[in-house]
């Protein structure tokens, strides 16, 4: 299929002009009601129809007895009804010639029973007969911040951006959207596809590979029905864009859990991880590493090897410098010595006692003065042997010194400006501590200002190693 | 030395009846001033004397021109003056026959210069001539929450408890106290000892091994002057109490950084980690792992192997269950299948759809109902093949459903009561997300209520593996 044909095919799925929700009810805590109200709250701009034969209105909208009773075309239908009603609802959608159906309803193939499997096949056949595609069942469905479509009933407000994801798990999809929202990772499109009765992993990946909004692709997978096609798709996608794969069910017992979760059969992890890497993608082991790596890709379009680490804004950074070196060197990254010119430059900026003019640089407690920090950072950035700068800071220590958030905010503003003006990328490490409410608010401003923030140096370094591995693989393949 | 003699020797250091601070000044941002005001704010109950020859009063206290001018005995002196004044101040302390001196002042052995080294030797000789001991120089010094002595100028309010630590790095000491404060890890005593000019690593460890308040010992070390004595001390301590050692400078380059940080020579990490384990202690690689392990020891007095994991309080826990299994099995822990009786018990509590009655247990979205959760958790705890229960929850998802913290607070109250009444330990995993200010407040209540909370299942599991390794080693040694 040509890229343009693919884009056309997925347009009604990720950017539908009209959405109906089947299964709204007076009980606002029910999933159908929550899907609908979340769309309203998010400000979805298309036509929106609640469907329930026993209600006249829902949330101020006229309620329809069936999808086929809605005047005008309906592109996308979200279904959250008991499984006993599902065949009737699908027949109704077929009559209404909807383009795509997203099914929250569960109890199909994943139960392991013959009946659930048979119904799943039946509804797919019905939908396909009129060219309608199914997302799920047993899934949360799509998210598209630029179309103001939230992730299912969840109201987290991720910003539009370049990270597109697919997730076999609805819950991990929530984790992905939550982390994207809090860490300043912009989302292009995302989907939890559950049992993958019709549209499967590779279908969505093919689309994200050609989607103009998607610069980085992430996939949480538990198993697949067609490994050959999946890995061929990952290989093609990874030629164009970074692809991060988090494989769940990596152990025998975990694979059993995956089977009862989304009814998928899982091959041994060793086979998966080798295949992921051979396909030119990055293999990660947890949600943290998945999001950390996506954030690093958001800021890096080439590999980095040689780091400068700056610590000691308050109360000395000797221990931080030692630990930073341990983490970088253990991960196979370099921390080159500074040249004489850089050391001389730093010497003219920083006071001598407590300062250690090497890489890692211990600033020796100058405080959060943005002017001094900018001079020191620029001096380090001018060092030709450095690819990337990491600043370690402790918000609770900073607040403890002055009990005022304003100096920290000004320092962050300085980092945001530097990130834009510096010729090299700037990462920040900010561990949790005793003043989390204030730290999260301050670091949130920093992240939204475009500076990547990590909770530990180890996690930042792990992400950098993944980014490097991807670009090196692509270089080898001549990508 | 007998345990009682050791306790007597360290009583004036960790529980002094009087403290003088040399180096207070009108500038409240100076370290000496901050040390003094932090003691006042913390409510230190002993006698407190500011010392500065140019001031009449400081912070409402009468200011003395010298330590020897203070009427009555002074047990403990905190010094924060420029290095040029240090010999005079030490002479004054010797005249006043103080028992111990803590030196924030830096610029000694750690600079690598001959002069700093010579002064360091000179002041140690002077102090020892009257039986006075030195902590530091180039250190933050002691902390003792039960004596209301804060960690240097830092005002974090750790609660009294059983974790005693020593840290060669002042900054990592702050990190330890910060994490202890926020995660509900009670501190017995702690010390950052910097250059260890007089009292060294092994001295403090010997004391913590006999200190009645200390149940768990942690040590951040960069190098040591006497490896044989250090490891003999760790071996003896680990016979009585869990000992956690975090070795910084684990790489060649990191060791170089450690040398300029606290002037210590570091042996290769392979030698260290082997020696740590041979001594019967736990070797960790980061601040996170150090504190995670201390928290686990606070709740466990024997090894655990067999876990039950419960997920899916809201919106399904399928993905969480798969990931939990991956993490547990990869770490070499067991997740035994539930017996028929346990499954039957759970079946009578939980609704069938979306629920997966295995270990890991997916509750299938019952919401934060404390009664239902308590019934399910008690049913799992009654399973004889289970040593420990882990509950995974997502605070932002919980808040997103009802936009009200009260149900979460009630659920937490239920966990706190269960932790006390259950025959098995209960751990909680609560990852960061989109509503951090609320999560941190809620999880803080949970942690202060005595429930250990971890930000990821991987980190909880890593801590459990460390705890198991320690108790298994002790069993082998017949401890």
Helical ranges in B382-405 per DSSP H: 395-402
Asked if A405 reaches chain B (Cβ–Cβ under 8 Å), the answer is no
Is pLDDT at B380 greater than 90 in this prediction?
A: yes
| 38-77 of B, contacting A, C-beta below 8 A | none
Report the pLDDT value the prediction gives residue B156, as an integer from 0 to 100. 81
- Determine the Cα–Cα distance for residues A316 and A47; give it in Å rounded to an integer: 58
The length of chain A in residues reads 479
Angle in degrees, CA A282, A284, A285, rounded to 5: 165
| 184-213 of A, contacting B, C-beta below 8 A | none
Q: How far is A193 from chain B (nearest CA, A)?
A: 13
Higher pLDDT, B245 or A110: B245
- Determine the Cα–Cα distance for residues B432 and B370; give it in Å rounded to an integer: 22
Judged by CB atoms closer than 8 Å, whether chains meet at A178 and B396 is answered as yes
pLDDT in tens, A39-53: 999 999 999 999 999
- Determine the Cα–Cα distance for residues A228 and A272; give it in Å rounded to an integer: 11
Q: Are the C-beta atoms of residues B236 and B209 closer than 8 Å to each other?
A: yes
Confidence of residue B155 (pLDDT cuts 50, 70, 90): confident
Residue of chain A nearest B176, judged by CA positions: A433
Judged by CB atoms closer than 8 Å, whether chains meet at B319 and A170 is answered as yes
Asked if A354 reaches chain B (Cβ–Cβ under 8 Å), the answer is yes
Is pLDDT at A479 greater than 60 in this prediction?
A: no
Q: Are the C-beta atoms of residues A59 and A30 closer than 8 Å to each other?
A: no
Judged by CB atoms closer than 8 Å, whether chains meet at B249 and A326 is answered as yes
Asked if A182 reaches chain B (Cβ–Cβ under 8 Å), the answer is yes
Q: How far is A300 from chain B (nearest CA, A)?
A: 24
Report the pLDDT value the prediction gives residue B478, as an integer from 0 to 100. 77
Report the pLDDT value the prediction gives residue A258, as an integer from 0 to 100. 66
Give B28's contacts in chain A (Cβ within 8 Å). Answer: none
Asked if A84 reaches chain B (Cβ–Cβ under 8 Å), the answer is no
Least reliable range by pLDDT among A130-134, A403-407, B8-12, B110-114: B110-114
Q: Which H/E stretch holds residue A51?
A: strand A47-51
The partner residue sitting opposite B107, judged by closest CB among A353, A362, A396, is A353
When scoring B178, B319, B343, B454 by the number of chain A Cβ atoms within 10 A, the one with the most, hence best to mutate, is: B319
- Determine the Cα–Cα distance for residues A218 and A245; give it in Å rounded to an integer: 6
CB under 8 Å to A225, separation ≥6 — which residues?
A196, A200, A264, A265
Report the pLDDT value the prediction gives residue A317, as an integer from 0 to 100. 82
Report the pLDDT value the prediction gives residue A223, as an integer from 0 to 100. 87
Report the pLDDT value the prediction gives residue B400, as an integer from 0 to 100. 87
Judged by CB atoms closer than 8 Å, whether chains meet at A397 and B253 is answered as no
- Determine the Cα–Cα distance for residues A192 and A255; give it in Å rounded to an integer: 19
**3-class SS at B284?**
strand
**3-class SS at B144?**
strand
Confidence of residue A269 (pLDDT cuts 50, 70, 90): confident
Report the pLDDT value the prediction gives residue B258, as an integer from 0 to 100. 65
Give A178's contacts in chain B (Cβ within 8 Å). Answer: 394, 396-397, 433-434
- Determine the Cα–Cα distance for residues B417 and B413; give it in Å rounded to an integer: 6
Asked if B151 reaches chain A (Cβ–Cβ under 8 Å), the answer is no
Judged by CB atoms closer than 8 Å, whether chains meet at A156 and B400 is answered as yes
- Determine the Cα–Cα distance for residues B237 and B244; give it in Å rounded to an integer: 11
The partner residue sitting opposite B317, judged by closest CB among A171, A317, A432, is A171
Report the pLDDT value the prediction gives residue A439, as an integer from 0 to 100. 94
The partner residue sitting opposite B286, judged by closest CB among A248, A285, A458, is A458
Q: Are the C-beta atoms of residues A120 and A108 closer than 8 Å to each other?
A: yes
How large is the average pLDDT for residues B298-314? 95
The partner residue sitting opposite A354, judged by closest CB among B106, B179, B318, is B106
Is pLDDT at A273 greater than 90 in this prediction?
A: no
- Determine the Cα–Cα distance for residues A447 and B436; give it in Å rounded to an integer: 14
Report the pLDDT value the prediction gives residue A202, as an integer from 0 to 100. 98
Average pLDDT, chain B: 93
The partner residue sitting opposite B254, judged by closest CB among A107, A329, A397, is A329
Give B195's contacts in chain A (Cβ within 8 Å). Answer: none
Judged by CB atoms closer than 8 Å, whether chains meet at B257 and A327 is answered as no
**3-class SS at B51?**
strand
When scoring A323, A369, A393, A405 by the number of chain B Cβ atoms within 10 A, the one with the most, hence best to mutate, is: A323
Give A437's contacts in chain B (Cβ within 8 Å). Answer: 436-437, 440-441
ipTM of this predicted structure: 0.90
Asked if B417 reaches chain A (Cβ–Cβ under 8 Å), the answer is no
Give A258's contacts in chain B (Cβ within 8 Å). Answer: 322
The partner residue sitting opposite B254, judged by closest CB among A154, A311, A326, is A326
Asked if A322 reaches chain B (Cβ–Cβ under 8 Å), the answer is yes
Q: Are the C-beta atoms of residues B77 and B98 closer than 8 Å to each other?
A: yes
Q: Which H/E stretch holds residue B390?
A: strand B388-392
Residue of chain B nearest A362, judged by CA positions: B261
Confidence of residue A395 (pLDDT cuts 50, 70, 90): very high
Asked if B154 reaches chain A (Cβ–Cβ under 8 Å), the answer is yes
Report the pLDDT value the prediction gives residue A355, as an integer from 0 to 100. 63
- Determine the Cα–Cα distance for residues B201 and B281; give it in Å rounded to an integer: 15
Report the pLDDT value the prediction gives residue A253, as an integer from 0 to 100. 59
Asked if A276 reaches chain B (Cβ–Cβ under 8 Å), the answer is no
Instruction: Report the C-alpha dihedral over residues A269, A274, A279, A282, rounded to 10 degrees.
Output: 70
Confidence of residue B263 (pLDDT cuts 50, 70, 90): low
Exposed / middle / buried, residue B205 (Cβ in 10 Å: 0-12, 13-18, 19+): buried
CB under 8 Å to A108, separation ≥6 — which residues?
A83, A116, A117, A119, A120, A137, A138, A195, A197, A263
Give A156's contacts in chain B (Cβ within 8 Å). Answer: 396, 400, 434
Report the pLDDT value the prediction gives residue B106, as an integer from 0 to 100. 87
When scoring A154, A257, A317, A352 by the number of chain B Cβ atoms within 10 A, the one with the most, hence best to mutate, is: A257
How large is the average pLDDT for residues A133-139? 95
Q: How far is B332 from chain A (nearest CA, A)?
A: 11
Judged by CB atoms closer than 8 Å, whether chains meet at A401 and B29 is answered as yes
How large is the average pLDDT for residues A360-377? 93
Higher pLDDT, A403 or B297: B297
Asked if B437 reaches chain A (Cβ–Cβ under 8 Å), the answer is yes
Instruction: Report the C-alpha dihedral over residues A374, A179, A255, A225, rounded to 10 degrees.
Output: -100
Asked if B285 reaches chain A (Cβ–Cβ under 8 Å), the answer is yes
How large is the average pLDDT for residues B322-339? 92
How large is the average pLDDT for residues A471-478? 91
Report the pLDDT value the prediction gives residue B111, as an integer from 0 to 100. 80
Judged by CB atoms closer than 8 Å, whether chains meet at B329 and A251 is answered as yes
Is pLDDT at A281 greater than 70 in this prediction?
A: yes
Is pLDDT at B262 greater than 70 in this prediction?
A: no
Is pLDDT at A270 greater than 90 in this prediction?
A: no
Confidence of residue B218 (pLDDT cuts 50, 70, 90): very high
In B141-296 the beta strands, taken as DSSP E runs, fall at: 141-143, 160-167, 187-192, 216-221, 243-247, 282-284
Least reliable range by pLDDT among A351-355, B164-168, B233-237, B296-300: A351-355
Helical ranges in A348-456 per DSSP H: 370-381, 395-402, 406-421, 436-448
Asked if A122 reaches chain B (Cβ–Cβ under 8 Å), the answer is no
Least reliable range by pLDDT among A166-170, B116-120, B278-282, B401-405: B401-405
DSSP class of residue B7? H
Asked if A318 reaches chain B (Cβ–Cβ under 8 Å), the answer is yes
Judged by CB atoms closer than 8 Å, whether chains meet at B456 and A286 is answered as yes
Percent of chain A with pLDDT over 90: 81
Asked if A443 reaches chain B (Cβ–Cβ under 8 Å), the answer is no
- Determine the Cα–Cα distance for residues A100 and A52; give it in Å rounded to an integer: 19
**3-class SS at A426?**
strand
Work out how many CB contacts closer than 8 A connect A with B. 235
Q: How far is A383 from chain B (nearest CA, A)?
A: 19
Judged by CB atoms closer than 8 Å, whether chains meet at A182 and B436 is answered as yes
- Determine the Cα–Cα distance for residues A52 and A399; give it in Å rounded to an integer: 54
Exposed / middle / buried, residue B413 (Cβ in 10 Å: 0-12, 13-18, 19+): middle
Confidence of residue A38 (pLDDT cuts 50, 70, 90): very high
Neighbour order of strands in the sheet with A100-103: A47-51, A18-22, A76-79, A100-103, A133-135
CB under 8 Å to B404, separation ≥6 — which residues?
none
- Determine the Cα–Cα distance for residues A212 and A146; give it in Å rounded to an integer: 13
Report the pLDDT value the prediction gives residue B338, as an integer from 0 to 100. 93
The partner residue sitting opposite B250, judged by closest CB among A222, A330, A362, is A330
Least reliable range by pLDDT among A253-262, A393-402, B109-118: A253-262
Asked if B397 reaches chain A (Cβ–Cβ under 8 Å), the answer is yes
């Amino acid at each position: 299929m040509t890229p343009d044909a693919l884009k056309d095919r997925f347009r009604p799925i990720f950017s539908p002009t009209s959405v109906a929700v089947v299964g709204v009810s007076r009980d606002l805590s029910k999933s159908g009601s929550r899907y609908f109200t979340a769309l309203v709250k998010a400000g979805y701009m298309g036509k929106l129809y609640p469907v329930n034969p026993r209600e006249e209105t829902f949330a101020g909208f006229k309620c329809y007895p069936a999808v086929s009773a809605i005047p005008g075309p309906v592109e996308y239908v979200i279904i959250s009804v008991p499984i006993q009603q599902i065949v009737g609802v699908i027949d109704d959608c077929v009559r209404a010639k909807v383009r795509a159906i997203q099914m929250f309803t569960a109890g199909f193939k994943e139960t392991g029973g013959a009946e659930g499997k048979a119904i799943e096949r039946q509804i797919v056949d019905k939908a396909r007969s009129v060219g309608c595609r199914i997302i799920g069942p047993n899934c949360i469905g799509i998210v598209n911040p630029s179309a103001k479509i939230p992730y299912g009933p969840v109201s987290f407000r991720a910003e539009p951006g370049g990270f597109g994801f697919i997730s076999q798990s609805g819950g991990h999809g929530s984790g992905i959207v939550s982390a994207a929202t809090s860490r300043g990772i912009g989302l292009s499109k995302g989907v939890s596809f559950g049992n993958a009765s019709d549209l499967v992993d590779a279908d969505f990946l093919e689309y994200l590979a050609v989607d103009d909004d998607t610069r980085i692709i992430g996939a949480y997978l538990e198993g697949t029905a067609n490994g050959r096609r999946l890995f061929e798709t990952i290989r093609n996608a990874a030629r164009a864009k970074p692809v991060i794969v988090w494989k769940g069910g990596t152990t025998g017992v975990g694979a059993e859990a995956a089977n009862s979760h989304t009814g998928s059969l899982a091959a041994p992890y060793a086979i998966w991880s080798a295949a992921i890497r051979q396909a030119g993608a990055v293999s990660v082991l947890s949600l943290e590493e998945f999001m950390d790596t996506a954030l690093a890709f958001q800021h890096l379009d080439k590999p980095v090897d040689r780091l400068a680490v700056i610590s000691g804004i308050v109360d000395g950074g000797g221990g931080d410098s030692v630990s930073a070196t341990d983490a970088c060197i253990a991960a196979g990254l370099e921390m080159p010595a500074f040249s004489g010119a850089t050391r001389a430059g730093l010497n003219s900026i920083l006071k001598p006692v407590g300062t250690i003019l090497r890489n890692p640089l211990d600033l020796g407690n100058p405080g959060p003065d943005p002017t001094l920090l900018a001079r020191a950072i620029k001096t380090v950035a001018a060092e030709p042997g450095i690819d990337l700068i990491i600043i370690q800071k402790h918000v609770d220590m900073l607040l403890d010194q002055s009990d005022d958030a304003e100096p920290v905010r000004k320092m962050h503003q300085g980092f945001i400006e530097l990130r834009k003006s510096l010729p090299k990328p700037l990462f920040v490490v900010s561990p949790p501590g005793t003043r989390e409410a204030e730290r999260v608010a301050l670091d949130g401003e920093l992240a939204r200002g475009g500076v990547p923030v990590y909770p530990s140096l180890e996690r930042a370094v792990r992400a950098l190693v993944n980014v490097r591995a991807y670009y090196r693989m692509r270089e080898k393949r001549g990508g």
